[in-house]
Amino acid sequence: MSRKVFEALAEENHESIDFHYDNSTGLKALVAIHDTSLGIASGGTRVYNYESIEDALADALRLSKAMTYKNAAAGIDLGGGKAVIIGAPEDLTPQLFREYGRRLQMYKGKFSTGEDVGMSEERLKEVEKTTGNIITKDTSYETALGVVRGIEACIERLHGEPSLKEKTIAIRGYGNVGRKLARLLDEEGAKIIAVSDSQGGTVDWDGLNIEGLEKYKKEKSTVSGFQGSISNRKLLGLEVDIFSPCAVGGAINKETVSKLKCDIVAGASNNQLESPKLAKELKERHLLYAPDFVINAGGAIAAYGEIEGLKENEVLEKVSKIRKRMKRVIRNAETENISTVEASYRIAKNTLTKAREGGSSIAVA
């Protein structure tokens, strides 16, 4: 195991990985710091019942790297980090989260964290009782807004203008971000054909009633049963303009990639592609993919705004620039005949290189 850990760290040039265990509370956590060239490491804390420590390690390393590139691509002075707590969220005690907070003190302000999958506002408040550098703001609106702006850039490339009116969309994942995304898209005139959560999905080719769906979800704790029924697997293969993955990552893998029948893949979830190699396959199939760490950076920008004390209008202005950044990614990908993922990485790597050399750390829009 120890050799594998060091190999994993070396593979993506991570700065550190720390394992935290507490017998009295049952805390089992990992904190991964990928890169601090731009500033303190920032990334949420995920609470998930991983099948193995290896799975938890892989997720922490992958997500922390994604945060480095997300922050670099967004043009904000934050590094990349991520933490994971192993266990079913509903089984973990307030004492465990307070102990986790005490463990975070060892980073002396060099790691800032906040909500993620399984880390609710209530649990985060327990963490905050014993540590600082906690992002308490709900960043789901900013995340959703950034995704909308990224989608607009993709639509403009394919249709000549960024209008969402009558564009058909299937959303996989209806949590805090997915729900706000559906609402924003609906307000822009898009037609939300299908939405799903962990229990199943709902579909209506005339367009779902989003207001009614929100009420149903609040009452039933699921979207399944709202209108026509559809599975998560079938939702992914719907013939729509846009497929938007907003649940846990890995929705697009070697089995599902061939089932996509959309023109654009653009969503809020992290690590949407099981492997970066799938970006090339999407390109070959002429599907326009909006790299997750580019268009879902609204939450990271909001977190940066809280750290720096920015006003709400300043934060929203920065989030709206995601559209401009996504247009640059598309332009570079086409000019260099590479995937949008590779184009995004090159832009972010250039930003990181300049920071390491002592130059400007802000990505050029």
Residues linked to residue 20 through DSSP beta bridges, in sequence order: 29
The answer to whether the beta carbons of residues 244 and 170 sit under 8 Å apart is yes
Grouping H, G, I as helix, E, B as strand and the rest as coil, residue 170 is strand
d(CA 249, CA 268): 9
Q: Show which residues are catalytic.
A: 82
Contacts (Cβ under 8 Å, ≥6 apart) of 360: 354
Q: Contact at 8 Å (CB) between 314 and 286? A: no
Place of tokens 């579909």: 203
Question: How distant is the alpha carbon of residue 176 from its chain centre?
Answer: 12
Query: CB-based burial of residue 64 (10 Å sphere; 0-12 exposed, 13-18 middle, 19+ buried)?
Result: buried
Q: What are the Cα distances from residue 180, in Å, to 13, 213, 321?
A: 35, 12, 19
Residues 6+ apart with CB under 8 A from 189: 163, 164, 165, 166
Length of the chain: 365
* Strand pairing class (242-245; 168-172): parallel
Cα 332 from Cα 350, distance rounded (Å):
13
CA dihedral defined by 148, 292, 180, 83, rounded to 10 degrees? -150
What is the Cα–Cα distance from 195 to 168, expressed in whole angstroms? 12
